[in-house]
Amino acid sequence: MTDRKQHVFGAEELTLIYAAFDEAWEVVKLTHSGDMQTTEVARHRLANAVLSAYRNGVKDRKDLKAAGIVLMQQWV
């Protein structure tokens, strides 16, 4: 089993993460929308990418948006 530190996000952190995700989705959805399953898989991958970037120290909204998009593309 992987030993992971658990972190509970605060209100300000969640606001930042949600904003970065929403802005990134506006870009990503242009190429990753289609049927409901394709869209949901893309949204899930983007969410994981944004969270990963945040956990790795990206705390600026614009940088978090960009990092999420880049990570998502790398995971294809």
Does a structural domain hold residue 61? yes
pTM above 0.95, yes or no: no
Residue 48 falls inside a structural domain: yes
pLDDT category, 6, cuts 50, 70, 90?
confident
| 56 within some domain | yes
The domain in which residue 48 lies consists of 11-74
Residue 3 lies in a domain: no
Residues 6+ apart with CB under 8 A from 17: 9, 50, 51, 54, 64
On whether residue 67 sits in a domain, the answer given is yes
Judge whether residue 17 has pLDDT over 90: yes
Distance CA 68, CA 35 (A): 22
Number of domains the chain is built from: 1
Residue 36 belongs to a domain: yes
